């Protein structure tokens, strides 16, 4: 507990640059936590949406669910600062990553592109056969 208190004090006393560094170091942990917390609204939503739709019609749940999104967007616009471009980049700029010729010789690019093309053709074929 004492170590946790010391770590908390250290984080609270950190400068803005240190906060950015901490966020980059712990980005994966934070992302996993955020993605796991999205299940809570999915569990609560039917409890709110079904009664609203039953009483007021199917449009009302869309209007009600838009309100928190608008409030959050306004808060983000005014209080969240845009990070410096490239501050979280870990890869070095190489000709393979920055030029069209490099892209055309990149096996990962071709794998993704051809995979997506096969997916599109497959989905088109399935939709025609139904």
**In angstroms, rounded to a whole number, what is the distance separating the alpha carbons of residues 104 and 78?**
41
pLDDT higher than 70, residue 16:
no
pLDDT at 119: 92
Least confident interval from 8-12, 67-71, 118-122:
8-12
pLDDT value of position 26:
60
- Burial-class residue 106 by CB neighbours within 10 Å (0-12, 13-18, 19+): middle
| Inter-CA distances, 48 with 38, 40, 61, 74, Å | 16, 13, 8, 24
Query: Rounded to an integer, what distance in angstroms lies between the CA atom of residue 6 and that of residue 22?
Result: 16
The pLDDT, as a whole number, for residue 15 is: 46
Instruction: Tell me the C-alpha distance between 126 and 114, whole Å.
Output: 18
40/55 Cα distance (integer angstroms) = 24
For residues 28 and 76, the model is more confident at 76
**Rounded-to-integer distance, Cα 29 and Cα 2, Å:** 23
Domain ranges of the chain: 96-130
Q: What is the pLDDT of residues 37-66, one digit of tens each?
A: 666 777 788 888 889 899 999 899 888 888
């Amino acid at each position: 507990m004492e170590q946790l208190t010391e770590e908390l004090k250290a984080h609270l006393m950190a400068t803005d640059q240190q906060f950015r560094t901490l966020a980059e170091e712990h980005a994966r942990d934070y992302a996993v936590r955020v993605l796991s917390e999205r299940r809570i609204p999915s569990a609560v939503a039917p409890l709110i949406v079904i009664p609203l739709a039953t009483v007021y019609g199917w449009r009302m749940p869309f209007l009600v669910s838009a309100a928190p999104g608008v409030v959050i967007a306004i808060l983000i616009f005014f209080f969240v600062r845009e990070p410096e471009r490239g501050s979280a980049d870990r890869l070095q700029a190489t000709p393979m990553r920055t030029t069209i010729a490099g892209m055309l010789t990149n096996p990962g690019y071709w794998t993704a592109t051809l995979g997506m093309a096969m997916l599109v053709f497959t989905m088109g074929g399935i939709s025609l056969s139904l």
